[in-house]
Amino acid sequence: MPKYHSAAAAEIGRRIRAARQELGVSLEDLGELAEVNWTTIGKIERGASSPTVESLIRIATALEVDPGAFVTGISAAQYGGRPHQLTARDFIAARREQGGTRRTAG
């Protein structure tokens, strides 16, 4: 089992730990305040797991930090295992070049 989930998870965890330590809050106390198990927060801080959006927002709220501060600058490439770097814009442009006009219901 890897020490960390991904470079992105490690960076998000580092940011959370720094915010928590800056306030002098223990993992146990943050867990209680955020209503997230403190062992889960520990795994997130170590980068061993990636937080769910709900956990991220609960932790940020408890620390009085904008949740965006934990993910600013993080890219999909930092999660690894992505076989391509295409975006929706790239996909649409390629489809137009091939003459495809298929649309999906939204």
User: Mean pLDDT in each 10-residue stretch from start to end of the chain (106 residues)?
Assistant: 79 98 98 98 96 98 98 90 81 85 55
Cα R_g (the chain), whole angstroms: 18
pTM of the model: 0.80
* Close Cβ partners of 33 (under 8 Å, ≥ 6 residues apart): 25, 62
Q: Which residue intervals of the chain are DSSP H helices?
A: 7-23, 27-34, 38-46, 53-63, 68-71, 88-97
Domain assignment present for residue 53? The answer is yes
pLDDT at 81: 75
Phi and psi torsions of 105, nearest 5°: -70, 140
Domain assignment present for residue 106? The answer is no
Distances, alpha carbon 99 to alpha carbons 94, 95, 96, 102, 106, in Å: 9, 6, 5, 9, 21
Q: What is the CATH number of the domain that holds 32?
A: 1.10.260.40
pLDDT at 1: 44
pLDDT at 87: 85
pLDDT at 43: 97
Domain assignment present for residue 84? The answer is yes
How many structural domains is the chain composed of? Answer: 1
Token pair in block for residue 70: 């934990």
Domain assignment present for residue 46? The answer is yes
Domain that holds residue 73: 7-97
